[in-house]
Every structure is written in C-alpha cells, then in structure tokens.
Structure 1
Amino acid sequence: MNLLQLKYFYTVARKEHMTRAAEELYISQPSLSKVILKLEEELEVPLFDRIGKQIKLNKFGKAFLRRVDRIFLELEDGKRELSDMLKNESSTISIAANNLAPFSNLIERYLKDYPNVILGQTTGSLKKMKEQLLNGEIEFCISSPPVEGDLIECIPLTTEEIFLVVPSGHRFAKYKEINLIEASSEPFISLKVGFGIRELTENLCHQAGFNPNIIFETDVAMNLMEMVNSNRGVALLPILPWNNTQLSMSVPIHVKEPLCNRKIYLSFIKDRYFTEASMQFKDYLIDYYKEA
C-alpha cells in the first residue's frame, strides 16, 4: 500500500464515480479500476458496492476513508508546520461561507491589525464546503447549518433573525409582522438545493403548514435581493449589510409564527495545525460575534 493508492482511493470515494475520478486524476479509467481492485485485495475487503457501472462506498470503504482523511490532513499539516518553522508561511487564510453576509465589515478591523494577511473566501453548498475542509483546501467554514463530521469541530457564533422580505409595492409591505402561513400562495426566491438558506426556507414553510412555491433558484446570494426588488417574488432572508442600501426597494417583515431565526457556526478540523495567523483569525471571529 502506498500514498498514490490512497490518493486514488480518496478521489474515487469522494466522487463515487470511476470515470469522473479518472478524469480528475489524469489516468485511464481501466488503470484506476485496477489500482482500486489491488487495494481491496491488500485490505481483504471490498471498499465499494458495485451495481452495473455504478459504485458506492460501503461500510468498509466509509471506515477506511475516515482514516485516509486523517492521513492526508496530517501530511498537509506537516507541510504547513515546516513552512511556518522556516518562516516561509504565506499568511494566507482560506474560508468558505454560505451565510450570505459579506466579509467587508467583519474583516475590516482584523486587516487593520494584520495588514500582511491574505484572506481568500469561497462559497458553495454544505457538501462542497465539507469536501474542501476535509481535503485541506480551506481552513474554516462559516455556515448555517454547521458543516459537521467526525473530524470537524463546530462553534456557534451568533443567532440572527430571518425576515419575510417583500417588494416595496407588495400587499404585505405595510405589515409590521406576519404569520408565515399568510404567504403560502406567494412565489418564493431562494438559493439552490444544498445551500443553507434553501433548507431553512423549506423547513420554515413546512413548519407553517405549506410547501413553498420556489419559482427562481440561484447559487449567487446577491441575486436573491435583486429578484425580490424586481417584484419577482418574496424571500426568507436575514437583514444583512449588503442589502441595507436596497431596503427602499424591499421591505423586511417580522414573522410571528413560526419562530424564524438561524444559528451561524464556525467549523474547522479538530487538532489541525494552524499557523499563528490562522489561530489569531479564529480567535478574532469568535470575539467579533461576542461583541456584535
């Protein structure tokens, strides 16, 4: 067994698709299949269930993957620690977020104190962010709901209210508060399946007693307010810094029933090696939300 075999297994396990994994690894599909079969022979257990051309990680494969995750995280941390010891660490911090809020206000004070740090932010579904966290592409996730797993630690940062946001000319626009069931016949705008705000929208509407009629979905958060402001529908959203300037075009309404709020979490790999800059940023995030 060698690291190349483990890398191939890791990729196939994440994709659960031999051809796609082969394309990512730049090898032929038959060659990749042979490597996986040889690994299974060495381990003396099948790692995948095979149904026709489809493969799916089985209980042995899932258990083995948890160990392989640790191996690659340890290797990545080893490189980071050595670079840190040699003072060649780039002071780059990578974050993924799906909580819609921009980082301009959050990081303004941090960058004043640490002007040489480079912050990189991506967004995506919970599944994508979990993969990025486990394979070392990112260090932190800020999300609702939390990114969870055996190797992942989650810290609650804050709780924010969710409003029913409607266009300024809407029949609800003069309401100060509303029961969500009153919006059961409204067209809804939301993010795509896999994003936290989509799951939240569906769950809150189900609690109110109806299935939301989602007529437009996107993976770009800014599109939500643009569509509401264009009178295309309503949305369940927090009131965020990036949409305060557009509130003259839309109206946030407090929802009486059901209780509409969500918790924002910080997720990261347990026992991962963090550079001094990353540790400072983690502490800063926690303190920032305590003071907010």
Structure 2
Amino acid sequence: MDLLQLRYFQAVARLEHISRAAEELGIAQPSLSRTIARLEREIGSPLFERHGRGIRLNEYGTMFLRHVDSALSELDDGIRAVREAGDLGLGRVSIACETLLTITTVLGSFRAAQPRADVRLFQSDAAEMERRLRVGEVDFCVASQPLTGPNLESIELIREEVLLAVPRGHWLDGRESVTIREIADEPFVTTRKTHWQRALLDRLFASEGLTPVVSCEGDEAGASQVLISAGLGIGLIPAMSRQAGTDTRVPVAWVHVAAPACHRVLTLVWRRDAYLSEAALRFREFLTSRPFMTHRLPDPRRHTPERSSSRAPHGR
C-alpha cells in the first residue's frame, strides 16, 4: 500500500465515480480501476458497492475513508509546515464560505493589512465545508449553518436579522412587517436545500405547518436580489446586504418578518487539531477582533420604515 493508492482512493470515495475521479486525477480510467482493486486486495475487503457503472462506498469503505482522510491531512499539514518554515511570506490561509459576498469586504481588508499572506477562497455548501475541513483543504469555514464533526471549534462572528426583499410596487412595498401566513402563497426566489437561505425559509414555513412556493432555485445567493428586483418573486436576504447599500444598485423594498427565528448566525469554524500557518492565525485574529463583526440583531421597535404608507394585499 502506498501514498498514491490512498490519494486515488480518497478521490474515488469523494466523487463516487471512477471516470470523473480519473479525469480529476489526470490518469486513465483502467489504471485507476486497477489501483482501487489492488488496494482492496491488500486490505482484504471490498470498499465499494458496484452497480453497473455506478460505484458507492460500503460500510468498510466509509470506515477506511475516515482514517485515510485523517492520515493524509496530517501528512499534508507536515509538508505545509516545512515549506512555510523556509518561506519569507506568512504562508497560506484557505477559507470556505457559502456566499462569497459575505466575506468579500473583510477579506479585502485583510489582504490590505497582510499583503504577504497567500489567501485562497472557496464557495461551498455546509456538507462540502465539513468535508473540506476534515481533509484539510481549508483552514476555516465562515458558515451560516451549524457544522458538525469531530474536533471542530467555532466562534460567533455576527447574529443578524434576515429581511424579506420584495420588488418595488409589490403589495408589500411600504409595509413595515409581515407574518409568514400572509406570504404563504407568494413565490420565493431562494437557493437549493443545501444552502442556509433555503434551510431558513423551510424552517420558518414548517413552524406554521406550511410549505413555501419556490419560483426560482439556484446556487448563487448573491443573485437573489437581482432576481427579486426583476419581479421573479420575493426572498429572504440578510440585513448585511441592505446595510452595504446594494439596494441602491438593485432596487427592492425591505420588510421585517414577524418571526423570532428569522435571523442568521455567522460563525468561524476550524479544526482544533489542524496545523495553522502564520497567515491563518493572523486571519483568525483579524476576523474575530473587528468591532463590526459583533453586530447584534436590531430592535424592530426602533425601525422606521422608508415609506409610511400601508397597502392592503392584492387578491387576498
């Protein structure tokens, strides 16, 4: 058993597809198949279930993968530590985030403050974040959903209200707040179920025994406000977007949702047993020490709506 076999196994286990894994690894499919078969013979047990062209980890493969991920992560950390010890820079910091716009401004400020740091940014959903942390592909995740897994530590960065964005001229344009039941039949612009906006939308509706009507579903949460402005539906947008002034470029109306759970908790998550470069340590200190990353939820009673008129629902 050699290191190459383990890396090949890790790629096949992640993709659960021989052809895609071979393409990613840059080797021929027959060669990869032979390598996996040889590994299974050496271990003395099949690691995958094969159904025609499909391949899926079995219980032994799942067990073995946990140890392979841990071993390769330790090895990669060691290689990285040695390389960075002789580097004049600060090393690399890798970050995963569900929505890149969430961290763009902060990351730009960090780069300006630490120009010798090598910064890498990846867009990932919650499940992909957990995997990237486990195998050591990233140092930190900036997550809007709880991440679970062994040896994970986290710190809360921000707890903010999530607002309802509606197109200008919509019957809710000018309303200060709205209940979930009032918008039960409205079409929503949202993300796929693996992203936090969709998870929040589903939770809010489920608390009322309802299911949201989804008119547009995608992977890029940053595009939601544009789609809402175009009249394709309404949607949940974090208060951060309004504070950043994006509504001046993409005009929408903002409405408070009368539900105590309509908020987002943004956390910084890392693996406590992973190696962190000087760049990573400085990034964590930079992110957790900034005053604007400790916002509290606004008090709705102090909110003054932009428009004081109240309109009755059309067709209600």
Shift of 1:276: 1.4
Change (3 A) 1:90 1:284: closer
Between 44-53 and 270-279, report the one with greater CA deviation: 44-53
Shift of 1:99: 4.5
Query: 1:225 corresponds to which residue?
Result: 225
Aligned-partner Cα distance in 1 for 2:137–2:12: 18
Aligned-partner Cα distance in 2 for 1:42–1:84: 35
Query: 2:161 corresponds to which residue?
Result: 161
Q: Say whether 1:133 aligns with 2:133.
A: yes
Amino acid at match of 2:12: V
Once the two structures are superposed, what CA deviation does each residue of 1:12-58 show, in whole Å capped at 9, x if it has no partner?
11111122212222333333222222212222222122233322212
4+ residue runs over 4 A deviation: none
Aligned-partner Cα distance in 1 for 2:264–2:47: 38
Amino acid at match of 2:32: L
Amino acid at match of 2:240: L
Change (3 A) 1:100 1:175: farther
Q: List aligned pairs for 1:22-41, cutoff 5 A.
A: 22-41=22-41
Amino acid at match of 1:94: S
Aligned-partner Cα distance in 2 for 1:268–1:50: 35
Shift of 1:104: 4.3
Query: 2:277 corresponds to which residue?
Result: 275
Shift of 1:100: 5.7
Query: 2:213 corresponds to which residue?
Result: 213
Query: 2:247 corresponds to which residue?
Result: 246
Gaps of 5+ in 2: 296-316
If the length of structure 1 is used for normalisation, what is the TM-score? 0.89
Query: 2:117 corresponds to which residue?
Result: 117
Amino acid at match of 1:176: E
Q: Kindly, what percent of the aligned residue pairs are identical? A: 34
Shift of 1:108: 5.4
Once the two structures are superposed, what CA deviation does each residue of 1:111-156 show, in whole Å capped at 9, x if it has no partner?
4542333433232322333343344332211111133323543333
Aligned-partner Cα distance in 2 for 1:258–1:182: 16
Aligned-partner Cα distance in 1 for 2:221–2:229: 14
Once the two structures are superposed, what CA deviation does each residue of 1:73-112 show, in whole Å capped at 9, x if it has no partner?
1121112211222134563322121146443442455445
Query: 2:177 corresponds to which residue?
Result: 177
Amino acid at match of 1:45: S
1:148·1:154 contact (CA, 8 Å) conserved in 2? no
Aligned-partner Cα distance in 2 for 1:71–1:270: 16
2:99·2:222 contact (CA, 8 Å) conserved in 1? no
If the length of structure 2 is used for normalisation, what is the TM-score? 0.83
1:99·1:142 contact (CA, 8 Å) conserved in 2? no
- Give the length in aligned residue pairs: 292
Between 26-35 and 276-285, report the one with greater CA deviation: 26-35
Aligned-partner Cα distance in 2 for 1:37–1:108: 47
Between 83-92 and 165-174, report the one with greater CA deviation: 83-92
Shift of 1:241: 4.1
1:181·1:209 contact (CA, 8 Å) conserved in 2? no
Once the two structures are superposed, what CA deviation does each residue of 1:142-173 show, in whole Å capped at 9, x if it has no partner?
11113332354333333221111112211112
Aligned-partner Cα distance in 2 for 1:40–1:128: 26
Change (3 A) 1:153 1:63: farther
Aligned-partner Cα distance in 1 for 2:74–2:40: 23
Aligned-partner Cα distance in 1 for 2:213–2:76: 45
Q: List aligned pairs for 1:37-52, cutoff 5 A.
A: 37-52=37-52
Between 271-280 and 142-151, report the one with greater CA deviation: 142-151
Change (3 A) 1:99 1:181: farther
Aligned-partner Cα distance in 2 for 1:222–1:12: 32
Gaps of 5+ in 1: none
Amino acid at match of 2:275: Y
Change (3 A) 1:13 1:151: farther
2:99·2:221 contact (CA, 8 Å) conserved in 1? no
Root mean square deviation of aligned Cα: 2.4
Between 154-163 and 60-69, report the one with greater CA deviation: 154-163
Change (3 A) 1:12 1:151: farther
Shift of 1:218: 2.5
Shift of 1:272: 1.1
Q: List aligned pairs for 1:76-91, cutoff 5 A.
A: 76-89=76-89, 91=91
Q: Say whether 1:200 aligns with 2:200.
A: yes
Query: 1:236 corresponds to which residue?
Result: 236
